[in-house]
């Protein structure tokens, strides 16, 4: 009887010892969570005459998507001030920066950057126009619309790592404007980031995979879709269900992150609303 109890006691002590050894490792894994979740999302502007797909009918689904995905940071394109106000009110963990593209004050779409205030710290931010006069509201080259890029320097509160984020929307008509606008962004990235911090670039580029417009990024940044360990090849523009299969025009690019575990095109339905926009949001997880 004594032998049996001793044997049992030894097993208990071995179990406790193993837990004591494993516990620091578990805690280390939790503290060492060095991932950043990023979303790029063209919300489709609220002035568009989209019938049943207008903003009022789908805005709650946009907020529900953010609530479920819980990104650390996300960029929106085409957002008008009323849309930003709605997301600001209904995504309480987030704040945003950005200026309207038409006058830099209150008129036009905003390429806003939202960050999760619980996980990220905003350090500084700025804005420029994609044109020959980037410091003032202006049209660039053959662009149909004024186009802007918003940039921000942030710190990840988990890892205390700094990184830059740039969000943009290239012109839908001007071929030269897209190419030179993206080149301008690349040059500005180099100028604003002398420390060589990791960089993220998101946006609706209005070009398909393989377009020559993307050549200015080669050797400087990589597409999360292309390098992610887990990825997909789904279209990002859905046209309310009327687009083709090869409409990939939304992108997440990065540089100097150590890995991209996953990339996904978010096609699921929220709140039983068929489409939260005429674009699907895209999401990537990046590791410092």
What φ, ψ does residue 68 adopt, rounded to 5°? -80, -45
- CA distances (Å), 172 to each of 51, 179, 281, in order? 22, 12, 18
Asked if residue 262 lies in contact with residue 230, where contact means CB atoms within 8 angstroms, the answer is yes
Rounded to the nearest angstrom, the gap between the alpha carbon of residue 26 and the centroid of all alpha carbons in its chain is 29
Report which of 108, 135, 133, 113 is spatially closest to residue 125, judged by C-alpha positions: 113
- Residue 145 pLDDT: 98
Two tokens at 185? 């962004």
Angle 125-128-132 from CA coordinates, rounded to 5°: 155
pTM, to two decimals: 0.88
- Residue 1 pLDDT: 42
Pairing assessment for the beta strands 222-223 and 250-255 based on DSSP bridges: antiparallel
Domain ranges in the chain are 1-31, 34-287
- Residue 14 pLDDT: 45
Q: What is the pLDDT along the chain (288 residues), one digit of tens a residue?
A: 433 444 444 454 444 444 444 444 333 323 237 999 999 999 999 999 999 999 999 999 999 999 999 999 999 999 999 999 999 999 999 999 999 999 999 999 999 999 999 999 999 999 999 999 999 999 999 999 999 999 999 999 999 999 999 999 999 999 999 999 999 999 999 999 999 999 999 999 999 999 999 999 999 999 999 999 999 999 999 999 998 788 999 999 999 999 999 999 999 999 999 999 999 999 999 999
Rounded to the nearest angstrom, the gap between the alpha carbon of residue 162 and the centroid of all alpha carbons in its chain is 16
- Residue 13 pLDDT: 46
Two tokens at 204? 């609706």
- Residue 243 pLDDT: 87
State the CATH architecture for 34-287: 4-Layer Sandwich (3.60)
Angle 162-151-265 from CA coordinates, rounded to 5°: 85
- Residue 31 pLDDT: 26
Of how many residues is the chain composed?
288
Distance of alpha carbon 80 from alpha carbon 83, whole angstroms: 5
- Residue 33 pLDDT: 79
- CA distances (Å), 81 to each of 46, 85, 109, 150, 248, in order? 9, 6, 7, 15, 27
């Amino acid at each position: 009887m004594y032998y049996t109890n001793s044997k049992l006691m030894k097993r208990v002590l071995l179990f406790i010892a193993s837990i004591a050894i494993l516990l620091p490792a578990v805690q280390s894994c939790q503290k060492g969570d060095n991932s950043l979740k990023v979303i790029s999302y063209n919300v489709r502007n609220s002035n568009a005459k989209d019938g049943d797909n207008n903003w009022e009918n789908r805005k709650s689904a946009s907020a529900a998507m953010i609530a479920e995905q819980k990104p650390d940071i996300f960029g929106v394109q085409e957002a008008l001030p009323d849309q930003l106000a709605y997301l600001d009110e209904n995504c309480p963990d987030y704040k945003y920066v950005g200026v309207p593209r038409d006058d830099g004050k209150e008129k036009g779409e905003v390429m806003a950057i939202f960050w999760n205030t619980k996980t990220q710290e905003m350090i500084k931010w700025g804005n420029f126009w994609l044109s020959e006069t980037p410091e003032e509201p202006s049209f660039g080259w053959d662009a149909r619309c004024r186009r802007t890029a918003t940039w921000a320097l942030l710190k990840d509160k988990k890892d205390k790592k700094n990184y830059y984020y740039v969000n943009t929307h290239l012109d839908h008509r001007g071929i030269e404007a897209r190419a030179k606008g993206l080149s301008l962004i690349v040059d500005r990235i180099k100028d604003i980031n002398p420390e060589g911090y990791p960089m993220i670039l998101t946006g609706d580029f209005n070009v398909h995979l393989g377009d020559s417009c993307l050549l200015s990024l080669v050797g400087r940044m990589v597409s999360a879709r292309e390098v992610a360990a887990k990825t997909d090849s789904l279209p990002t523009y859905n046209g309310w269900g009327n687009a083709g299969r090869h409409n990939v025009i939304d992108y997440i690019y990065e540089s100097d992150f150590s890995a991209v575990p996953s990339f996904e095109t978010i096609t699921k339905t929220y709140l039983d609303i068929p489409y939260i926009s005429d674009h699907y949001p895209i999401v990537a997880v990046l590791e410092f």
